Amino acid sequence: MISRVTGAVNPRLTSLPWPGPRYCRRVSSPKSTSGGTRERARATQRARKSGALSSARTSGGKARTSGRASAADAHSSARAGRIGVHSSERTGTRTRSNATSAGRTGVRPRAKSENASSRASRAIEIERRLTSAIPEARCELDHDDAWQLLVATILSAQSTDRTVNRVTPQLFARYPTAAALAAAPQSEIEALIKATGFFRNKAKAIRAASQLLADRYAGVVPRTLEALIELPGVARKTANVVLGTAYRIASGMTVDTHAGRVARRLQLTQHDDPVHVERDLCALFAVSSWIDMGHRFVLHGRYVCLARKPRCSECPLAEVCPASESAAPSGTWTERAERERGRVEARGEAPSTD
């Protein structure tokens, strides 16, 4: 690109796009001596002015910068103050909300630790009192043999023993053996057991279990836990009930909803899973008492240690139960045990003395 003043090529401007006059810079041409002197004088004057202006600008800029810095510092301080206040408020709010939510959960505080020796001693006293209250521990499912007990126990899932006892007489009258029940139509069995709930799945389970018993064991219920839990619809609880009640074989302790609740309230276990509850209970009681103590826990939970409104004032275990809600139980524990015996023998139909 060529300068409009000197006609020389300005190499720094050759790369600029056209039109270029407004992009071009004037290149000073050589001046004469006198002109050069005057030019130097003017340059000096301009330099002085620009220096003063630059100094003023610099001082003004520093002042403005200082002002902005002060304002920024003040803003930062105020913001930091606000953040500090808000953070503390938020922290306090969070703490309060956590405390409130913890109070709403209704979680019981962890009980004081109890050594194994103390728990074992308490278990002995619990067994003594429950044995006095329920001397003849029994399963409340009506049955004549092990096969009927097996079918009734399968039907009792998510149902009550009373309901099952209303259903099974007609069922066993129509199908008296495992082979007969296995050959029965599904729809007929469903109609007979509908009152127990989940009747379709239960009908499939008892038909399949009866079929396997008829084919493999000639209709006789096996006497081992391993063989029983292979039957459809049979888990460990059902196997323990059948083996303990029908054959008096102590394969473990029966743990249903009632027994698990009683064990946790007595702080004999901290588990919810029935298998873990059974393991803890079996470690506390002798093998010879597994069958009867399993039934006693079930019956005690069914008639005294209720889920919603436990009869703590009528409980013979009130003095040894950490979860007892009764400050002054009625009478002695032996009197309460006698009243529980009457309630269990009447299957809950005895009038309450609460």
Which positions are catalytic?
237, 256
CB atoms within 10 A of CB 14: 10
C-alpha 265/C-alpha 324 separation (Å) is 8
Reduced to 3 states (helix: H, G, I; strand: E, B; else coil), residue 9 is: strand
- For residues 311, 317, 321, 324, the Cα torsion angle rounded to the nearest 10 degrees is 20
Q: Is the dihedral of CA 65, 71, 74, 79 positive or negative?
A: negative
**Coil/strand/helix, residue 167:** helix
Rounded distance between C-alpha atoms, residue 353 and residue 62, angstroms: 93
- Name residue 2's beta-bridge partners: 9
Separation between Cα atoms, residue 124 and residue 126, nearest integer Å: 5
Q: What share of the chain is helix, strand, coil (3-state, %, to 5)?
A: 65, 0, 35
Nearby residues of 13 by Cβ (< 8 Å), 6 or more positions away: 1, 20, 23, 24, 25
